[in-house]
Amino acid sequence: MSKVGIRDVAKLAGVSTGTVSRVLNDHPSVTKDVRARVEGIIKELGYLPDPSARSMRSKVSRLIGIVIPDLTNPFFSELVQSAEQAAANHGYNIIVMTSLDHAAKEADRIKQLTSRKVDGIILVPSNDFHTLKLPKGLPIVVVDRLMPGYSGIAADHRNGVRLGVEHLLKLGHRRIGFISGPGHSVPANDRLRGYLDAIEHAGEQADGSAKMAGPPLIAEAAFDYESGRSAGNYLLARARNERPTAIFASSDQQAIGCMRAAHDLGIPVPAALSIVGFDGIPLASMTTPRLTTVKQPIQDVAAAAVAVLLNKQTAPELDDPILFACEVLEGETTAPPQPD
């Protein structure tokens, strides 16, 4: 009872190996009954095609690679999980690799995937990525951190942030601080523009009712918890009637760091300070109070990326990415502002 091959199946089914192969690959030109008989034998023998042999001949590996900066980041782990589910639905499997945000490692990983003959790569570029050029001829879809010149898929960060800030405006806030992401990051800048969109649009209201008070309050920071905390400290370190009554953070982790900062300064949330995050990671609903946040449609993004690689969906044009809408998830960190 050693390894059963395609010839065993062929012999037992009374057909040729070619026919069995055709059955395996859903080739249209096989009669119904022959197909049925062959499939019967396949099941009976518990035959499993050898992927190596298959891929050697056909140049198709049914493998797709995914390279992300850091699997520890809940946003990326959800992305990978979603991609895995989507790929599995099509008979594909996922090879994960993490670049740890290190361009050299990233380049190495991409090369590995190339030589593995994966059918496509989903890439979330590391932050110092620009130096790298991607191999041509292998379908690559850039996700989340879009890069000019490559077809990409992402959430609509800009509009998502705008929705979040408008949520604060609607509550009556007029001094809204913003914790931005690192300046060189594409999504960080998109998010910043969303904030500016909202502020600007508010300033244009005819009756001036939504006019923003004072200059924009922006603090640049990395996306992580500690950076959010110090950015929060920075924004809140001024007289009560000058400091923001609400802060929009570019990531949930920043927002949580900011909550910590407020807590340390004795500023109650949301009574004296509203906070909104961005991402919608599970953690957001586990804070006290629960964080209000703008949720990215990660599953949609992942599914679309897989679909594009499998040619189930036309790839986005270069420099014209596919964007998916975000959604405000109301928690307990937002409330109307107190009078000064």
Q: Which residues sit at the interface with DNA, rule CB under 7 A? A: 3, 5-7, 14-22, 24-25, 28-31, 34, 47-50, 53-54, 56-58
Cβ proximity of 83 and 122 under 8 Å: yes
155 by Cβ neighbours in 10 Å (0-12 / 13-18 / 19+) ranks as buried
288 binds a copy of itself (CB under 8 A): yes
Cβ proximity of 93 and 122 under 8 Å: no
Single residue of 19, 30, 41, 78 touching a copy of itself by CB under 8 A: 78
CB of 53 to a copy of itself, least distance (A): 5
Q: Is the peptide bond before 289 cis (omega within 30 degrees of 0)?
A: yes
The amino acid occupying position 245 is T
Cβ nearer to DNA, comparing 38 with 246: 38
Single residue of 36, 53, 213, 325 touching a copy of itself by CB under 8 A: 53
Cβ nearer to DNA, comparing 135 with 149: 135
CB of 339 to a copy of itself, least distance (A): 27
Distance CA 85, CA 90 (A): 9
Element (H or E) spanning 261, and its range? helix 252-264
Indicate which of DNA, a copy of itself, none lies near residue 216 (CB less than 5 to 8 Å, by partner kind). Answer: none
132 binds a copy of itself (CB under 8 A): no
CB of 64 to DNA, least distance (A): 18
Cβ nearer to DNA, comparing 60 with 213: 60
Cβ nearer to a copy of itself, comparing 58 with 205: 58
Single residue of 116, 211, 238, 312 touching a copy of itself by CB under 8 A: 116
Complete edge-to-edge strand list for the sheet that includes strand 176-180:
217-220, 176-180, 246-249, 274-279, 292-295, 327-329
Cβ proximity of 310 and 121 under 8 Å: no
